[in-house]
Structure 1
Amino acid sequence: MTQPPTQRLPIQHHCYYSRSREGEQFVPEHSFGMILSGSFTLNDGAHTTEFAEGDLYFCTRNQLVKFVKTPAPNGDFRSLSILLDQETLRAFSIEQQYAPQKATAPTAYLALSGSSPLKAFMESLKAYEQLFANPASEALLKVKQREALLLLLQVAPQLKQVLFDFSEPGKIDLEGFMNRNYHFNVELKRFAYLTGRSLSTFKRDFEKTFNTTPSRWLLQKRLQEAYYLIKEKRRAVSDIYLDLGFEDLSHFSYAFKKQYGVAPSLV
């Protein structure tokens, strides 16, 4: 399996030979990409969308999203993605005289038109594949990143409001947010940030709201949901533990048995 480069270059090529749910389920920067082979499934907690070979997608920053990369039968999963970091977007907005926007409840991700100049551009990037993991190529990749941004705004002009919203998350209702998003596998500092709080304030507000610590509450909430899915819905253990925010099956099984006195497979 080829891992993404450690340095976050503006254009990245991903290749996997086995099913992957890599990484934290938090999108720190805007990005968009195209599937070259296999399929890419995104889930924002409310909706699930599968992108196939040739499909284009856009992911919004500061969102919680689950993703699964599935290789093609007897093949691999490959994709090209372009990162749009805040520094690049701020410089672009000044150059193009775009006033900062305020997005209203942006979606976590969306599908882009499959028959557009943007798709032809993404196809052309295949010729640069050997440069994507080379830090010395950053200047060239920045040029391509700018071209991609200009084309993206032509294909999806409605994204201007999302791309040039440089505001940070404001303080929101903690209880409602956590009850909607406890199944995402992210660090506490991400939950704190998305609720508009420092980590220390988040922990303090959390204990006032739930009368327990965030870590204990998350574990209990996930285990309760797991018990319900296994006992009442007859779901297989292997199908649910990742979806509930557990990192591996052994950790889930240990925590479940400690809580309920029986292995999840015996419920």
Structure 2
Amino acid sequence: MNTPERLHPLQYACYHARSRAGEQFIPDHAIGLVISGSFVVNDGLETQVFREGELYFCRRNHLSKYDKRPPENGEFRSVAVFFTEEMLRRYSLELGYQPAGHSNAGTFTRLPSPSVLGNYMASLRAYEGLLSQPGTSELLALKQKEALLLLLQAAPELKNVLFDFSDPGKIDLEAFMNKHYQFNVELKRFAYLTGRSLSTFKRDFEKIFHQTPGRWLLHKRLEEAHYMIREQHRSASDVYLDVGFEDLSHFSFAFKKQFGVAPSVAAD
């Protein structure tokens, strides 16, 4: 899954229907505010739900599945401010901020919603119309810096996350893959997140699992889908995204090839 280019530090979302289309690799730190509806996230370890008026911090270099749910007879709306590594390095020098140590913060951190930061994020709705206008980059950069300073005031412990510019260290490959196999990302992402080059990742993977990453991922995802369909009575159209497939027809073809029956037959 390719990561979309960040055109602005401010991002707005609006959906009339439920949307499960979200980045599964998080490239930048971000603050988000749910304006209406609910935002359900899963990073392979836990599921969290952020509802209308709630504020969260999202950590870069992690995997997550997004589920944006509009309220009844309404639309899902949110606003987010993204902090690129380049921007944070610049402000680290300007403000003299350095991480004091490693942080064990999770992928998503719930922030105090009734707060100055929450009020500030809500005020950004007024700037939505400026994103398509020329000559607004300096203004948006100032709003981004203001959001960063308010975040550090609201959650000072996140300084060790925001200004840690090191790449992910080498971690337990077997444990990581068993927790994150359902994320539809390229092998180079899995390699990076486990602290390995792509060639080292493939070599270590085959030593542990005794097959190629591609073959193991396909088998693992189909086994999980088979369980969901047969035991949880879910439909193929409901599970294929959850287990890491992008295309329903490809999922159905691979499922029948592995189990000898179509997903609809396996459910009976």
Same fold (TM over 0.5): yes
1:231 partner amino acid: R
Query: Deviations for 1:135-173, whole angstroms, at most 9, x for unmatched residues?
Result: 632211000000001111111111111111111111122
* Corresponding position: 1:87 with 2:86: yes
**Equivalent residue of 1:100, what SS?**
coil
Q: Distance in 2 between matches of 1:136 and 1:189?
A: 37
**Equivalent residue of 1:31, what SS?**
strand
Aligned to 2:106: 107
Q: Distance in 2 between matches of 1:10 and 1:257?
A: 44
Query: Deviations for 1:36-72, whole angstroms, at most 9, x for unmatched residues?
Result: 1221111112221211221111100111111111122
Aligned to 1:166: 165
Aligned to 1:27: 26
> Which 10-residue stretch deviates more, 238-247 or 128-137?
128-137
Aligned to 1:203: 202
**Equivalent residue of 1:212, what SS?**
coil
1:228-239 mapped onto 2 (5 Å cutoff): 228-239=227-238
1:3-42 mapped onto 2 (5 Å cutoff): 7-42=6-41
**Equivalent residue of 2:135, what SS?**
helix
Aligned to 2:46: 47
Aligned to 2:249: 250
TM-superposed CA distance for 1:31, in Å, is 0.5
> Does structure 2 conserve the Cα–Cα contact (< 8 Å) formed by 1:256 and 1:262?
yes
> Does structure 2 conserve the Cα–Cα contact (< 8 Å) formed by 1:42 and 1:67?
yes
Q: Which runs of 5+ in 1 are unaligned?
A: none
TM-superposed CA distance for 1:106, in Å, is 2.5
> Does structure 1 conserve the Cα–Cα contact (< 8 Å) formed by 2:22 and 2:67?
no
1:106 partner amino acid: A
Q: Distance in 2 between matches of 1:197 and 1:207?
A: 14
> Does structure 2 conserve the Cα–Cα contact (< 8 Å) formed by 1:24 and 1:186?
no
> Which 10-residue stretch deviates more, 230-239 or 109-118?
230-239
1:24 partner amino acid: E
> Does structure 2 conserve the Cα–Cα contact (< 8 Å) formed by 1:7 and 1:135?
no
Aligned to 1:222: 221
Give the root-mean-square deviation of aligned CA atoms: 1.7
> Does structure 2 conserve the Cα–Cα contact (< 8 Å) formed by 1:30 and 1:60?
yes
* Closer/same/farther in 2, CA of residues 99 and 208 from structure 1, 3 Å limit: same
1:69-80 mapped onto 2 (5 Å cutoff): 69-80=68-79
Q: Distance in 2 between matches of 1:102 and 1:203?
A: 31
1:173-192 mapped onto 2 (5 Å cutoff): 173-192=172-191
Q: Distance in 2 between matches of 1:232 and 1:115?
A: 42
Aligned to 2:117: 118
* Closer/same/farther in 2, CA of residues 45 and 7 from structure 1, 3 Å limit: closer
* Closer/same/farther in 2, CA of residues 24 and 124 from structure 1, 3 Å limit: closer
Q: Percent identity?
A: 60
TM-superposed CA distance for 1:207, in Å, is 2.2
Q: Distance in 2 between matches of 1:265 and 1:176?
A: 32
Aligned to 1:65: 64
Q: Distance in 1 between matches of 2:164 and 2:99?
A: 6
How many residues matched? Answer: 263
Q: Distance in 1 between matches of 2:82 and 2:260?
A: 46
> Does structure 2 conserve the Cα–Cα contact (< 8 Å) formed by 1:13 and 1:79?
yes
Q: Distance in 2 between matches of 1:199 and 1:110?
A: 30
**Equivalent residue of 1:136, what SS?**
coil
* Closer/same/farther in 2, CA of residues 64 and 200 from structure 1, 3 Å limit: same
